Structure 1
Amino acid sequence: MSTTITLDYLIQTRLAEIAEDAWRDHRVMPVRSGDGRVFQLGTGAVWEQWYCQADHGDGLCGEPMLSHEQASTLLGMYADDEPIPDPQFAPAEIELLDPSRGCFMTNALYHFSDVGREYRKAQG
């Protein structure tokens, strides 16, 4: 008898592995779908998907983490440029599911404060 593995099962398994790796390597946790917040800068808005539980020296961070695409959206950049050239906190490198390409791609998660700082800098 052969075992059938569905694509949904493979994706769910990989998402769980990514969440475990993000916690182990960066102390970044996924947000449960119903517990997220909406973050807005200017006319752009994104949904919270990750948050930082690392201690950067002042206790647990707890700050939202935004993907490269989310940061670019909030900053009005739609190219593959680096949205945050000099982040205060090192970005977390993890794999994220890219629906536009139908695969998992390496991505960076930035602290929301770094994205906000870059936004204010661009506004003058």
Structure 2
Amino acid sequence: MKYAITYMNNMVFQHFGKCPEFLLVDIEDGKLVNKELLSSNGSGHGALVTLLKEANVDMLVCGGIGQGARDALAQNSISLISGASGNVDEIIEQLIKGTLKDDQSGMCNHHHDGTEHNCGEHKCSDH
């Protein structure tokens, strides 16, 4: 399975729509078989979902994500684990073990007027 993890400085980046890079991870038969960085322009969820689809990603792992992005992922048959945080190496270990679960605290409430908005327990403007 091919995963894309929102990425910055070896940590899970917390705002999907502004994600500068994705760490692409291939896991087969409980083993990590490939790991590579995919640059993005962080230009919003529509362009990012297209980028992930073109990279043949099966599942996105991220921190905060809004409903529009969730819907776009579903329309493109990309599964989602949201609410992830911390070191990506630890996240990869959880993916290999099958213990990483979706956490609804990763749901963003956007105002779309350029002002601050909240993503679960954190503020996306803090990133």
TM-score, length basis structure 2: 0.25
Greater radius of gyration (CA): 1
Structure with larger RCO (C-alpha < 8 A, sep 6+): 2
